[in-house]
Amino acid sequence: MSAAPALAVEDLCVEFRTRSGVVKVLDQVGFSIAKGETVALVGESGSGKSVTAFAVMGILDAAGRVTSGTAMFGGSDLLALPERELAELRGRELSMIFQNPRTALNPIRRVGEQIADVLVRHGGATRAKAPALAIEMLKKVRIPDPERRAKAYPFELSGGMCQRVMIAIAIACRPSLLIADEPTTGLDVTTQAVIMDLIAELAREIGTATLFITHDLTLAAEYCDRIIVMHAGHVVESAPSATLFSAARHPYSARLLAATPGESGALASLASIPGSLPDLRRADLPSCRYSERCERRLDACAEPLPRTAVGEAHIVACRNPL
């Protein structure tokens, strides 16, 4: 019998109430992450990647609400836990690296103090010992001159340095699950590689499961064991990284790959994805939210969407896969 996954999400549905109507952001989203595994959640902007993470962490915007589903973690359903219990898990067993560290960090507290706060709140450190432990965490994420940097405010550090501080905060208590939400946004290519290498190395050292949210398939292929593809609030395909790149079965996955730069980097080789995401406020949303922009659409696509195993650890939600 296989070990229980670190996280198992099933039938997750989320909606947002806005002035222009109810937006059905997520619909029956399901996936799992094994202990120690790194999984990428990919898709174009607006596909629901970050909302999925926020729902799991219990930090949805006030306008959003989970309408159904489960997120099993260590024997508990995160979506059903009282806020106090969930707050105890966040920072200790569950951690998140946000895509914009300058807004995620407290601008009026020194970065060393912010790391120390987590160590005291969730790591059992005393106020006397926490500052020294915070400096050790800065060393672990390879920030030079950590004693001096610990006294700096976020605005005094570069974007890459701020992201390293966020990583230090996230891993300070050796969490079982780490969610990295587009952690390289706004960073130059060289710094992106450094940050991704650091996250991967520390995750291996701790043995944590990692959910990496990105729109960059190249990064996902390089750093992740599996890739989960989302479109308009649906999970449309899940496969080992090498399998997805060599034999994508969902038409949307294939379109995403065709729109991803290869080693040649030639712009002429890229193909845009036709159409756009559907209006999620519609009352008549199709069962397959990609069907209206899909060249393989069948009449049967209007029926409930199946999840079909098409290979080892390879699942596709499509009535006419490639």
Domain 7-310, CATH class in plain words = alpha beta
Residue 2 has pLDDT above 70, yes or no: no
pLDDT of residue 213: 97
Quick check: 262 and 223 in contact, CB under 8 A? no
How far is Cα 57 from Cα 232, in angstroms, rounded to an integer? Answer: 20
How far is Cα 229 from Cα 60, in angstroms, rounded to an integer? Answer: 21
Residue 304 has pLDDT above 50, yes or no: yes
Answer with the residue of higher pLDDT: 140 or 274: 140
pLDDT of residue 270: 75
Report the chain's mean pLDDT, rounded to a whole number: 94
Confidence of residue 3 (pLDDT cuts 50, 70, 90): confident
pLDDT of residue 257: 94
Residue 266 has pLDDT above 70, yes or no: no
pLDDT of residue 267: 63
Q: What is the CA 245 to chain-centroid distance, rounded? A: 20
Residue 41 has pLDDT above 70, yes or no: yes
Residue 264 has pLDDT above 90, yes or no: no
Domain extents for the chain? 7-310
> What confidence tens digit (pLDDT) does each residue in 76-133 have?
999 999 999 999 999 999 999 998 898 899 999 999 999 999 999 999 999 999 999 9
Answer with the residue of higher pLDDT: 209 or 266: 209
> What confidence tens digit (pLDDT) does each residue in 132-151 have?
999 999 999 999 999 999 99
Please name the residues in contact with 283: beta carbons below 8 A apart, sequence gap of 6 or more: none
Residue 285 has pLDDT above 90, yes or no: yes
What number of helices (H) and strands (E) belong to the chain?
11, 12
Alpha helices in the chain (DSSP H): 49-57, 83-89, 101-104, 111-123, 130-140, 146-149, 159-171, 189-206, 217-223, 241-247, 251-258
Residue 1 has pLDDT above 50, yes or no: no
Backbone angles phi, psi at 117, to 5 degrees: -60, -45
